[in-house]
């Protein structure tokens, strides 16, 4: 029986079946749209965000509060808890979760995944799997930290302008072209975002992602996923180049506020020594 619970936030967009199977507790990220608030992962949220942005309406997101993390920790069935957050370079959740961990009487450890979105999802799964075996908190923490050092994510964007406006990525990494029809490839790894060049259209961009997947440990990886921002058809096309992955998931609607629509990519956890 598990003695350690794993908590994360909804920007991971993990499938409900996986959350239930591995008993992963999720703290929601809120998205504020004109006239209504929603939580990340809500049905049709990506589409509603795109429509609001097109109309030049004000849209924003808010990360979980300290009290949200505290409630999640104390609602867990286990007395020991591992909380996994996005890289602190991308969001302030690590701080809020850490303050919550100080307030709870339970033994809670907060871990920076050094990535975000689908990359963070794979780190969470790695930790939850070992927790499900009844492993100690120390073993779960070690597994999460080790996975955080190896996880890789490569994706394509329609444009870099939303990232430029968000100021969450250093300017030198955002020198991509803005020519119509070009798609930018980026890699997220170890708390950094690296622009990998611009490609003439989706087909060329997907071919580059597939190449990175093959050469950087995606084939035969411990875990892998394809993710997309409300474009399952494009995700299927990328899957045709990459091959089988463990699961397909959405791209965080809250993160879409910073990246814009049309994000499609893959994340994987290479095997040690692979």
Which CATH number is 183's domain given? 3.30.1180.10
**What average pLDDT does the segment 99-104 reach?**
97
Same domain, 68 and 174: no
Q: Is the pLDDT of residue 101 over 60?
A: yes
Residues composing the chain: 274
Determine contact, residues 74/81, Cβ cutoff 8 Å: no
Which residue among 93, 124, 149 closes a domain?
A: 149
pTM of the predicted model over 0.85: yes
Strands (E), the chain: 4-9, 24-27, 30-33, 36-39, 60-62, 80-85, 107-112, 152-157, 182-189, 192-200, 223-228, 247-250, 264-269
Same domain, 91 and 10: yes
**Residue 42: predicted pLDDT:** 57
Return the percentage of the chain with pLDDT > 90, whole number: 64
**Residue 207: predicted pLDDT:** 98
| C-alpha to C-alpha distance for 143 and 148, rounded to whole angstroms | 9
Reported as a single tens digit per residue, the pLDDT across 104-155 is 999 999 999 999 999 999 999 999 999 999 999 999 999 999 999 999 999 9
Residue 81: strand pairing partners? 5, 108
Structural domain that includes position 197? 152-269
Cβ atoms within 10 Å, residue 266? 28
Same domain, 235 and 137: no
Which residue among 102, 125, 149 closes a domain?
A: 149
**Residue 231: predicted pLDDT:** 86
Same domain, 96 and 174: no
**Residue 21: predicted pLDDT:** 96
């Amino acid at each position: 029986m598990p003695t350690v619970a794993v908590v994360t936030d909804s920007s991971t967009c993990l499938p409900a079946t996986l959350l239930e199977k591995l008993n992963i507790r999720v703290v929601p990220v809120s998205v504020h749209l004109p006239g209504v608030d929603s939580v990340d992962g809500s049905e049709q949220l990506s589409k509603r965000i795109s429509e609001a942005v097109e109309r030049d309406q004000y849209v924003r997101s808010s990360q979980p509060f300290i009290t949200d993390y505290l409630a999640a920790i104390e609602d867990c069935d286990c007395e020991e808890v591992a909380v996994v957050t996005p890289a602190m370079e991308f969001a302030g959740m690590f701080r809020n979760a850490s303050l919550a961990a100080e307030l709870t009487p339970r033994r809670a450890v907060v871990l920076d995944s050094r990535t975000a979105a689908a990359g963070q999802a794979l780190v969470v799964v790695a930790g939850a799997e070992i927790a499900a075996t009844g492993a100690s908190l120390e073993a779960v923490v070690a597994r999460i930290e080790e996975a955080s050092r190896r996880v890789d994510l490569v994706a394509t964007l329609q444009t870099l302008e939303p990232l430029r406006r968000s100021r969450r990525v250093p300017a030198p990494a955002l020198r991509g072209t803005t020519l119509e029809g070009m798609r930018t490839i980026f890699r997220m790894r170890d708390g950094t975002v690296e622009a990998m060049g611009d490609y003439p259209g989706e087909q060329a961009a997907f071919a580059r992602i597939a190449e990175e997947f093959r050469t950087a440990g995606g084939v035969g990886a411990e875990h892998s996923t394809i993710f997309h921002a409300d474009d399952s058809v494009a995700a299927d096309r990328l899957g045709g180049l990459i091959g089988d992955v463990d699961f397909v998931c959405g791209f965080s609607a809250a993160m879409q506020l910073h990246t814009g629509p049309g994000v499609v990519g893959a994340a994987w956890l290479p095997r040690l020594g692979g």
